[in-house]
């Protein structure tokens, strides 16, 4: 039976129009992409590091009280900071990496025996003149640093070098795509996709682990030593996808 109710007719008509609209939009926006090829390219740039950072600090050893440990740490660290500043290091390039104070104990026949307190502070210093690396390290240890960690070399602003490596990678990928299309008897069409990987800025660390000699220092400190920075590589990998005809 065909209804003559105007309300029902209006609802049915709206539903039909809505379905037609959705279907029409789907057909309208659907795009067919033909065969594609994907190629990879790698760009590599080599450069000399221009920044070094050194980690060093003070371990107080056991002190009778927490106040004594804090005072010794403060005195020693103040001397070290002043020493590295005299080598041209600015305040902005001196960062505290760690700071702690703990009670010290001995154990005897299962009994915990308090032995005072010990404190530690570790700095990381950025050095912008690589010719000064050995001098800064020597100054710090001669001023009282009795713990030295690693020396890191890196590039302070690698973005321009990354851009060079990326451009090289893209050119290699484009050339590869042209050769591949020709070998397949096809013509290269529009670029349909781009992906990038790599680009991390590596750093090189010269491992150093030097500790106190038991007399609150490092045998009178260290002499300035050569620390070659070497050369670093920035690598970018790209993937390009092209239509082919």
Query: What is the percent of the chain with per-residue pLDDT over 90, rounded to a whole number?
Result: 60
Between CA 157 and CA 124 the distance in angstroms is: 19
Q: Contact, 177 vs 37, CB < 8 A? A: yes
User: DSSP H helical segments within the chain, as ranges?
Assistant: 6-29, 66-85, 133-142, 159-183
Higher-pLDDT residue of 7, 68: 68
Between CA 110 and CA 112 the distance in angstroms is: 7
Q: Contact, 62 vs 46, CB < 8 A? A: no
Q: How confident is the model at residue 3 (pLDDT cuts 50, 70, 90)?
A: low
**Least confident interval from 19-23, 122-126, 155-159, 183-187:** 19-23
**Does residue 13 carry a pLDDT above 80?**
no
Q: How confident is the model at residue 20 (pLDDT cuts 50, 70, 90)?
A: very low
- Residue 180's pLDDT is what? 94
- What's the angle, vertex CA 207, arms to CA 91 and CA 223, rounded to 5? 65
**Does residue 234 carry a pLDDT above 80?**
yes
Between CA 204 and CA 137 the distance in angstroms is: 17
**Does residue 147 carry a pLDDT above 50?**
yes
Between CA 133 and CA 47 the distance in angstroms is: 19
Q: How confident is the model at residue 109 (pLDDT cuts 50, 70, 90)?
A: confident
Question: How far out from the chain centre does Cα 61 lie?
Answer: 33
- Residue 151's pLDDT is what? 86
Between CA 64 and CA 75 the distance in angstroms is: 16
- Residue 229's pLDDT is what? 73
Three-state SS at 44? strand
C-alpha dist (Å) from residue 114 to 96, 101, 151: 29, 14, 36
Summarised one tens digit per residue, pLDDT across range 158-209 is: 899 999 999 999 999 999 999 999 999 999 999 999 999 876 555 444 444 4
Radius of gyration from C-alpha coordinates of the chain: 33
Mean pLDDT, residues 107-112 taken together: 86
**Does residue 216 carry a pLDDT above 90?**
no
- Count of beta carbons in the 10 Å neighbourhood of residue 55: 20
Between CA 4 and CA 85 the distance in angstroms is: 95
Half-sphere exposure of 196 (CA within 13 A, CB side): 13
Max mean pLDDT among 83-87, 112-116, 210-214 falls in 83-87
**Per-domain residue ranges of the chain:** 36-45+160-198+238-244, 48-156+203-232
Between CA 76 and CA 159 the distance in angstroms is: 39
Q: How confident is the model at residue 4 (pLDDT cuts 50, 70, 90)?
A: low
Higher-pLDDT residue of 105, 2: 105
Residue 51 has which token pair?
């920044």
β-partners of residue 126 are 53
- Residue 24's pLDDT is what? 40
CATH architecture of 48-156+203-232: 2-Layer Sandwich (3.30)
Mean pLDDT for all residues in the chain: 82
């Amino acid at each position: 039976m065909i209804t003559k109710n105007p309300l029902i007719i209006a609802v049915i008509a709206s539903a039909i129009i809505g379905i037609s609209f959705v279907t029409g939009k789907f057909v309208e926006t659907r795009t067919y992409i033909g065969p594609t090829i994907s190629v990879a390219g790698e760009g590599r740039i080599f450069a000399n590091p221009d920044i070094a950072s050194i980690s060093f600090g003070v371990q107080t050893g056991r002190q009778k009280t927490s106040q004594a440990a804090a005072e010794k740490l403060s005195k020693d660290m103040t001397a070290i900071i002043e020493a590295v500043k005299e080598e041209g290091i600015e305040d902005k390039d001196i960062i505290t990496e760690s700071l702690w104070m703990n009670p010290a104990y001995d154990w005897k026949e299962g009994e915990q025996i308090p032995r005072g307190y010990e404190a530690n502070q570790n700095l990381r210093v950025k050095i912008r003149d690589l010719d000064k690396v050995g001098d800064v390290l020597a100054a710090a240890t001669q001023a009282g640093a009795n713990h030295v960690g690693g020396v890191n070399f890196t590039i302070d602003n690698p973005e321009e070098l990354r851009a060079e490596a990326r451009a090289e990678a893209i050119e290699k990928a484009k050339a590869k795509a042209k050769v591949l299309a020709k070998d397949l008897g096809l013509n290269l069409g529009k670029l349909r996709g781009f992906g990038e990987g790599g680009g991390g800025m590596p750093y090189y660390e010269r491992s150093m682990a030097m500790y106190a000699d038991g007399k609150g220092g490092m045998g009178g400190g260290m002499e300035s030593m050569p620390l070659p920075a070497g050369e670093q590589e920035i690598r970018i990998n790209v993937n390009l996808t092209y239509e082919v005809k």
